[in-house]
Structure formats: C-alpha cells, structure tokens
A and B are shown apart, each in its own frame.
Chain A
C-alpha cells in the first residue's frame, strides 16, 4: 500500500470525489491562489498546499478562490449545498469561525429541520485546529466541542492520513453539514493510504490498540500520543485499549462504553481547553452508563484553561504529552484490584 502524507491523502480524497461527482466543488481563501495577483495560477493550493493541483484539473468553475470574508463564503457554500451542489469550503483556521456562526449554527445546521426535511445541506467545512504551530492564541484552538454541541452538524476529527481520506470522502457524500478538523502540525504525517476510493462510516470508533488494564479515549492528534503511550506501557506489561471515536457527532457510544467497562479504568485525552470539552462529555457519558464497572475515577488529560501561549516553551507545556498519558494510566492501574 503506498505511503502518503496527510496533505496528500486529503488532496487525493478531494480529487477522486470531484472526478466521480460533478456537483462537488471546493472554495476558500487562496485554495488555488494567484488569482488577481502577479503570481502564477495554482501558486498556493491553500495556506498548507492541500488543494494544490485541483484548479488546473477542474478549472476555476469548481475551484473557487474567495475573498477574505468567512461570513460571505461559508454562507454562500451553505446556500449552494441546499441548491444541490456538494461544496467543500476551506476555512483556514477554526479560530476564525466566529464571524460565521450564524451561517453554520443557525442556518446550515437547521435547514433540514426548519424545512421539514425538504432540504438537505451536503456541505463540508474543512478547517485547521490545534496547538504546536507557534501560531499564537488566535490560531491554535481546538474548537470541535462547540460544533459537537450543535444538533444538525456532524464533526469528524481524523487522526492519521488513512483516516483522513476515508472520513473526508464519507463527509462529502453525507447529506448533512460536516465540520472536518485537520490538525495543522499533522500535514506531513505519513501512513499507508490505498489509491482506491474507500469510506469510513461516521459514528464508528476505531479501536487502535486492544488491552486489558486501561482504556484511553483520545481525539485527533491525541490518538497518536495515546498509541505511543500504549506501546510504551506494553513494555512494562500494562496493556491499554485505545479508542479513537473518529467523529464526535455522531458518537459511537457503544464502543466507548464497551471498552470502558472491559478495563474499568479510563483516561480521556482531549487537546481542547478543559471546561465543557470532549473529555468532560465522554467522562459524563461513562459515569452515567457504566459507573459500576469503574475501578478508579476517570482521568482527563487536556489543554489548560488559558489561551494557547505564543511563547514556544509555554506552548509546549500547554499541549498534552505522551508522558502524562502514561503516568495517568500507571496511576489508575495501581487502583481497584
């Protein structure tokens, strides 16, 4: 199976869906790049080069460079989706989403409901999240809990290039609005990614490690840290189940509860700020449904309740570490025998 980067996996997923279905269009700031500037066409492919090569193949009709106005082009994409297109809009940083919350929360998410099921909104919003890019507090947040909160939106957080391609194709084919989160420090991560088209269903968690002593539930980039912690712990005889829910809406509650009950010791890892995030949500879910199976209190490993710092030293401190996951598991394993 060929090895591809996260960037290449997303690009390939977009290209294959655009080849298969003429109604798929993409739009966003500088996703082709060069328009109206002295630079050559397709100079950019978005700030991370993810969409490079799509404009020459599909043309300006289907690859739309937009003005720097998120409220305008996200609203435009939602409207286009209702008329029958399948727009994939790239909103550079999720931190900028605030200017178009009405378009997303109150319009796109609710069209199906408000029109009594007569309208669908097959819209995908691709966006970057996460810390570690030295991009300071206005470009480093993990705002997926906000979108998970809103009924009518679906939220996907791929944890590696293989997951990214399969989840993206699924997102494009979904008839509801999907917010698709890409961690900005993961674009060069590599994995085996099939050349063929494949889909990963929403609401189906991936269990990437199977163990007996503890269950670590992690999201997006944190899944890789959890896997590494599990591999390290295995060397000292502690086996850990790692669960990647893949999508937070819909959420695979069944696998989360099943794996939590199996080991009775749970660590939830979420890079987002700690209040009202996914770790609190998952912890509540487990407490409510399988409290009797728990052998120890649930541990949450999260970012801090503070803006992501610009200082590199402080930013590094902000992000959850493999070591902290490992330590949390060791602490839990000492309990409940």
Chain B
C-alpha cells in the first residue's frame, strides 16, 4: 500500500527478543520527523527512546503502553493524509495477519562469529549485505560489539557491517599485548586480513576511535572514511578516575556511579548494564586485559597515543562526533581539531553519542559514507 510506513519493535542487541512499550511520546495526528523520539521502549537490558525511522503524519498506535511484543512486531503507522483511514486499517490488519508471532519470539537474530587472526581470535557481529565498502565498528575501553546495538541495524540496511570485539574485550582473545593503541590497530589490521576486507568505512568510539585512526595510518588505503566518536588520541587528558573505577569497583551502587559519568542522563544506565560490566570483568583474562590497557594506552593517567600532529597524514575524509557534556574525554579535544575534519558537537550528550543520540549519529554516519 502506497506511502504507508510501519514503525516496528527494534532489535537492540543480541539478547533482545521482545520489548515493552513504556510510553508513546507521539500522539496520533502529530507530524513525525525522521529521528524524532517517538516512544520509550524497555527491554530486559535497557530503557531507551526509540527514534522514528520514518517521517510523516502519525496515524495509528497498534501496540498500547504497557504491552510487550516481539522484535519486528508492528507498533504504529505513519502515512500521509492522502491515505485514508480505511487503507491504514487494512494495512494494520494485513500486517497482524501475516506476522509470525511464534517465530518472532524465538528468533535470536544474527549470531556473533569468530575470526582467527594472526594476533589471536576475535569475535565480531556481521549484519547486512550491502555491495559497497563495508563498515567496521570498533567500541571503546571496556565495551564490546553490543555497544552498537542502536546503530548497527540502521547502518546494515545499506552496508555490510562488522562490529568487532577488540582484543581483551567481549568474546575476543584476552591478550592485549603491550596494551597500546598500536597493538589494537595491528589487531584490527589482522582482522581485516582474516576476513578479507581491503577497504572499509571505519567507525570508532573512544579508545576504538584512536584504534581505527591508527589503523588508517598503519595501512594506507584501508580507510574509505573515518568517523571518530568521542575518540581518544586528540589530547593527553582523560578521566583516569573513570578508567580506574571501571576496573576496580564491583558493588553495583559504586560501579553504577562510575558508569553514570559516561552519559548525560544517568537513567540510561540500567542495573543489567552494570551487572554485565561485572560479568565481563570476571571472564578469564578480562581484568588483566583492562589493567594492561590502563597501563599501556593510559600510562601515568594520560593518553600515550596522540594523533594531533599526524592529522595531515590521513588519506581518507574524517568526521568527528562529540558530546558537549563528555566527562571522560574533553570535548575541547574535538573542537580544537585542525581543518579538514568535519566536527559535529551534540548538546546534552555525554561520552556515548551513538547511544544517547543514536538517530542523529546514524544519520551523520550514513550521510558521510553514502
């Protein structure tokens, strides 16, 4: 049916099979724009605002507040005024008739894969099958491929995407060598060789931002573009209390207050996220890996790998995205960039722009690499 645009339950991360509609922020009749926060969704792991993937007048709520439905289920409908109410109703009933509720509840989605590289085994999540150059997503200190849960599916609609677990993180081997950014870059180079990628759009967050930038310098020609989100490597300063607290704190209340410095709105940090960090740190070798990175990349409490003087050496376009309220790496690092890089500074955003303002970041990445 023409111009009818569905809003469906998104999939945020591997474990998500269903979500609960907490609150509709849009009302029927509103003119919704793409990227507008349209409803709040709760999963077993996280509560977040879902940004509308479509634009147009909001015509119909299908799933009411408080209801829980599987990933992919129709939540609401946008359609221009030229579409009649009857047509909208017909669309909704056809969707509901054809939706396989049982299969949707059981579908666990894409599974992570492993690449045996010359520097160890790395886990990654591949999504999408675009023809162009693929997108490689690299998380920051203490994260893993799941950190892109609000981004990867959106990028995967147009591109083949690889979200990688850095060495020492997630399901990857826990050996981080000397714990420097250079070692991480070499591991990423080994990954691209193992999976057969010679050119890709590189997207990195925080420590992963420095790592993909270092990869671009290590392997000229490999970067089709660079999107660095609150990246390390642009100044000595780092909130080392965060790094040390992340490693040391175990009790939920204390670790939570450490993790809250990551974001502008502390409500984004759920108990499950705090517990997942603790579970990660208990994996064999994980705590040692974090310590090694602390003592390598951030020895003496300052960043050891600095890109500032190398900015002229990049052979690919670069954009920087930073939250104005970043309490881990100062936004001043991004504002003082040399010419040639595009900088996007987001208000009311902390160190996690790709989670805190996922719609805007996804759009910034897509329009940069298309």
Contact = CB atoms under 8 A, between A and B. Distances in A.
A207 B279 contact: no
A241 to B, nearest CB: 8
B253 A162 contact: no
Nearest to B14: A1
Interface string A245-280: 000000000010000000000000000000000000
A141 B250 CA distance: 32
Contact of A200 (B253, B256, B282): B282
Interface stretch (A23-31, A99-107, A191-199, A296-304): A191-199
A262 to B, nearest CB: 9
B252 interface: yes
A166 interface: yes
A210 interface: yes
Contacts of B286: 198
The size bracket of the interface on B is 10 to 19
Contacts of B252: 207-208, 210
A204 interface: yes
A255 B15 contact: no
B283 A207 contact: no
A206 B284 CA distance: 19
Most chain A C-beta atoms within 10 Å of own C-beta, residue among B171, B250, B282, B284: B282
A194 B253 contact: no
Contacts of A162: 279
A196 B251 contact: no
Contact of B251 (A194, A198, A207): A207
Given A207-B251, A207-B252, A210-B253, A197 B283 contact: yes
Interface in B281-297: 282-284, 286
B256 to A, nearest CB: 8
Contacts, number: 29
Contacts of A204: 250
Contacts of A199: 282, 284
A196 B283 contact: yes
A194 B279 contact: yes
A204 B284 CA distance: 17
A198 B283 CA distance: 4
Nearest to B286: A198
Given A196-B171, A204-B250, A1 B15 contact: yes
A54 B251 CA distance: 36
Contacts of A208: 252
Interface string A158-193: 000010001000000000000000000000000010
Interface residues of A, number: 15
A198 B253 contact: no
A207 B171 contact: no
A194 B252 CA distance: 20
Contacts of B15: 1, 192
Interface string B165-182: 000000100000000000
A177 B253 CA distance: 33
Contacts of B283: 194, 196-198
B250 A198 contact: no
B145 to A, nearest CB: 13
B250 A166 contact: no
B195 to A, nearest CB: 21
Contacts of A196: 171, 283-284
B253 A207 contact: yes
B257 to A, nearest CB: 11
A192 B108 CA distance: 14
Nearest to B256: A210
Nearest to A169: B284
A198 B171 CA distance: 12
B96 to A, nearest CB: 29
Contacts of B171: 196
Contact of A166 (B251, B253, B282): B282
A207 B254 CA distance: 11
A131 to B, nearest CB: 29
A102 B283 CA distance: 37
A194 B286 CA distance: 13
Nearest to B272: A192
B251 A197 contact: no
Interface in B212-255: 250-253
Given A196-B284, A200-B282, A207-B251, 17 more contacts: A1-B15, A194-B283, A196-B171, A196-B283, A197-B283, A197-B284, A198-B282, A198-B283, A198-B284, A198-B286, A199-B282, A199-B284, A207-B252, A210-B252, A210-B253, A210-B256, A255-B251
- 4 pairs of A and B residues whose beta carbons are closest in the complex: A198-B282, A197-B284, A198-B283, A210-B253
Interface of B: 15, 171, 250-253, 256, 279, 282-284, 286
5 contacts: A198-B282, A199-B282, A204-B250, A210-B253, A210-B256
